[in-house]
Amino acid sequence: MTYSTLKLEQQNQIATVTLTRPEKRNAISSQMIQELMAAFDEVENGTARVVIITGSGKSFCAGMDLDGLRTIASQSLDENMADSRAMARMFYRIYEFPNPVIALVNGAAIAGGCGIATLADFTLAAPEAKLGYSEVRIGFIPALVSVFLRRQIGEKRATDLLLTGRIVDAAEALRIGLITEVVPAERLLERAHEIAAQLIAASPTSILRTKRLLRRFNEAEIRAEIELATRENAEIRATADFREGVASFLEKRDPKWSGQ
């Protein structure tokens, strides 16, 4: 398949997915969602046993594309539900992918971009990386990522990040369990290949079954929570605060919240 928002390379049982919209800080578009799903399908049907995902340029992924924000502010509930389900499927696909996934956070990983990074099995970040869920700052809701984040770092820490929308550096991200390691930027790929070599050296059957077991422990709960989060994600888009948040963000001004 030919991709326009990412590059997929496969060699020595390692598949590398690189987001290739550096001029947009690798922001998530509807096309990127479709291509990420297709890329993971292609990898699963191939011979790679480990997936590495990273971003080109100075960012990992800055969250939703600005053009996407403009569009969803005027969509119907049905359209927003469809968009929300597409995002949910992408997140869950990364989370439950049979083979191990390693994210290399080379720069900013914000909102949905932070979701992609932290849903990986291993998350390596450069010291200068910034991570966080900034949705509340623009009247949005970090609904889908909250399903997974509470389990990863605990409810108290997740509440802190999700309600304040604050951005943390790599050192704090490591301390609270948001990432696995802090690695110098020039060594990110090398370190990922070191981890991949460990994984490839192990029994492929054991790796697959161990990851499958880990995911099955809370599978029913997660699926139910994703459905709830999907609806919340869609419904907040019809609020006045969301429209004002998007408008103020695009116009680079302070928002004037109405609480509706």
Pull the structure tokens for residue 194. Answer: 């070191």
Cα(203)–Cα(26) distance, rounded to whole angstroms?
35
Cα(242)–Cα(240) distance, rounded to whole angstroms?
5
Cβ atoms of residues 141 and 135 within 8 Å = yes
Catalytic machinery residues: 135
Nearest 5°: the CA angle 2, 5, 9 is: 60
Cα(191)–Cα(187) distance, rounded to whole angstroms?
6
Side chain identity at 119, as an amino acid letter?
L
Cβ atoms of residues 88 and 229 within 8 Å = yes
Pull the structure tokens for residue 169. Answer: 């550096």
